[in-house]
């Protein structure tokens, strides 16, 4: 009997895995992609929504339009997964599998921190990005606190990029000299990847962005517009943009095999869920130390597809080496890039305009490059 592969989640990890399997899997292998919305989103584009550069609908396409014909798409929410009996449940409908790929992603969880949902903004969902756009439209000067509200979260450099974009947005509106801009982070320095620190520090100094290190948010007081850290430090502001901590989505949390936040225990090289030889996890739902980023999910999806084919055909599994890469905007229409893996740190180049243009072009070229899963 032909193998049946079920992929849960229509983000980068799920789509690339499905399309890569469509290219590599032997004839007869059934590939099914299950997603609650049937919509794929270029999530990195949310960063630009608050500044009016793009609308959320421009960042979305129907899954059926970006997967190969060999992939069957089911648009239904997954209500439960029975790992012992290899069954995916969808509101009473049962889907059996031989191989399961969990590409369920993660989601912002501002409720983890008291008051954060009521008093702060972020840009990690379409709705949140639109609300932030409205808040910026009404802002007329004062103090803005940008930063990290909790760990982990998607795309680690994104709040720093937002700070740089906000600096330029305020200049365009004639409000920069009326605004104090503060960046808050629980880290002792601006970022956790050492080779990027000098670049970010130079830009912070140049743009007049103040750094508030060691700020581990404990509670938020919406009524008095203040953030309070675990050591009692307080930051007051007129507008807060604090990326909330993220957690695994409900169907992944209900598996009962993840950590306290619902991230799945994943073997760092094969990407198999620990204790489950024919179950894989890919992208933001894993507990890997690799950043939760588009390129990490893309690279992992290639490995997962190849390993499923290897198991079907009796070949050796290949290894994921932790590859990830990110083009990072740093203001002045310039960007740098951080590419690294488990064993090799990044060596970011001097910020330049070519990389900036590459990042901006990605919004247009994404649909022709990433979902196709071509090597």
Q: What is the mean pLDDT of residues 227-242?
A: 98
Q: What's the rounded Cα separation, in Å, for the pair 55 and 57? A: 5
pLDDT surpassing 90 at residue 366? yes
Residue 271 in contact with residue 186, Cβ under 8 Å? no
What's the pLDDT tens digit per position in 314-361? 999 999 999 999 999 999 999 999 999 999 999 999 999 999 999 999
Residue 16 in contact with residue 371, Cβ under 8 Å? yes
Q: What is the mean pLDDT of residues 309-313?
A: 98
What's the pLDDT tens digit per position in 279-306? 999 999 999 999 999 999 999 999 999 9
pLDDT surpassing 70 at residue 105? yes
* Strand pairing report for 30-35 and 71-75: parallel
Q: What is the mean pLDDT of residues 161-188?
A: 98
Measured CA to CA in angstroms, residue 108 lies from 57, 137, 242 at distances of 20, 23, 11
Domain contains 334: no
Distance of CA 340 to the CA centre of its chain: 17
Domain contains 331: no
Same domain, 101 and 116: no
Same domain, 166 and 227: yes
The domain containing residue 157 runs over which residues? 110-245
What's the pLDDT tens digit per position in 148-167? 999 999 999 999 999 999 99
- The rounded percent of the chain whose pLDDT value lies above 90 is 96
So what's the pLDDT on residue 92?
83
What the block records as the tokens of 350 is 């001097």
Same domain, 261 and 208: no
Domain contains 184: yes
So what's the pLDDT on residue 101?
98
| Cβ atoms within 10 Å, residue 109 | 18
Q: What is the mean pLDDT of residues 38-66?
A: 97
Domain contains 343: no
Same domain, 57 and 136: no
Same domain, 23 and 65: yes
How many structural domains is the chain composed of?
Answer: 2
Q: What's the rounded Cα separation, in Å, for the pair 161 and 48? A: 10
Same domain, 214 and 193: yes
Q: What is the mean pLDDT of residues 168-192?
A: 98
> Which residues does 211 contact at the CB level (< 8 Å), separation at least 6?
182, 183, 185, 190, 201, 204
Report the mean per-residue pLDDT for the chain: 97
> Which residues does 302 contact at the CB level (< 8 Å), separation at least 6?
16, 20, 373, 375
Local confidence band at 1 (pLDDT 50, 70, 90 cut-offs):
low
Same domain, 262 and 300: yes
Same domain, 211 and 86: no
Q: What is the mean pLDDT of residues 199-225?
A: 98
| Residue 92's CATH number | 3.50.50.60
Please name which of 17, 30, 36 lies closest in space to residue 79, comparing C-alpha atoms.
36
Q: Which helix (H) or strand (E) holds 99?
A: strand 99-102
Same domain, 101 and 205: no
Same domain, 21 and 43: yes
Same domain, 57 and 158: no
Domain boundary among 304, 323, 342: 323
Please name which of 230, 148, 159 lies closest in space to residue 185, comparing C-alpha atoms.
148
Domain boundary among 245, 278, 294: 245
Same domain, 261 and 168: no
- The rounded percent of the chain whose pLDDT value lies above 70 is 100
So what's the pLDDT on residue 91?
86
So what's the pLDDT on residue 375?
76
Measured CA to CA in angstroms, residue 205 lies from 57, 155, 215, 307, 359 at distances of 36, 23, 19, 47, 24
Q: Report the predicted TM-score, pTM, of the whole model to 2 decimal places.
A: 0.96
Domain boundary among 282, 301, 323: 323
């Amino acid at each position: 009997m032909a193998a049946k592969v079920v992929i849960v989640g229509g983000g980068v990890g799920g789509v690339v895995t499905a399309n890569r399997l469509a290219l590599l899997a032997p004839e007869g292998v059934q590939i099914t992609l299950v997603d609650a919305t049937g919509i794929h989103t270029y999530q990195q584009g949310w960063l630009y929504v608050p500044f009016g550069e793009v609308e959320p609908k421009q960042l979305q396409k129907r899954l059926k339009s970006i997967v190969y014909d060999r992939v069957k798409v089911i648009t239904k929410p997954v209500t439960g997964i029975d790992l012992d009996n290899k069954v995916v449940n969808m509101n009473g409908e049962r889907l059996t599998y031989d191989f399961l790929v969990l590409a369920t992603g993660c989601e912002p969880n501002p409720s983890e921190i008291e008051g954060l949902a009521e008093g702060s903004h972020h840009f990690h969902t379409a709705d949140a990005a639109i609300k932030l756009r409205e808040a910026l439209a009404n802002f007329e000067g004062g103090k803005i606190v940008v930063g990290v509200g909790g760990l982990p979260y998607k795309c680690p450099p994104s709040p720093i990029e937002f700070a740089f974009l906000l600096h330029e947005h305020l200049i365009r509106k004639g409000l920069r000299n009326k605004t104090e801009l503060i960046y808050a982070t629980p880290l002792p320095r601006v970022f956790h990847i050492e080779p990027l620190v000098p670049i970010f520090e130079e830009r912070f100094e140049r743009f007049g962005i103040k750094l508030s290190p060691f700020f581990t948010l404990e509670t938020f007081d919406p009524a008095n517009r203040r953030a309070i850290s675990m050591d009692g430090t307080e930051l007051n502001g007129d507008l807060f943009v604090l990326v909330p901590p993220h957690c695994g989505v409900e169907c992944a949390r209900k598996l009962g095999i993840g950590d306290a936040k619902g991230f799945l225990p994943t073997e760092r090289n094969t990407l198999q869920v620990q204790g489950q030889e024919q179950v894989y996890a890919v992208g933001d739902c894993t507990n890997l130390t690799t950043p939760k980023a588009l390129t990490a999910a893309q690279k992992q999806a290639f490995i997962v597809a190849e390993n499923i084919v290897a198991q079907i055909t009796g070949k050796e599994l290949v290894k994921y080496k932790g590859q990830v890469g990110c083009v990072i905007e740093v203001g002045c229409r310039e960007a740098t890039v951080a590419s690294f893996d488990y064993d090799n740190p990044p060596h970011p180049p001097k910020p330049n305009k070519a990389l900036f243009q590459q990042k901006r072009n990605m919004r247009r070229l994404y649909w022709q490059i990433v979902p196709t899963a071509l090597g």
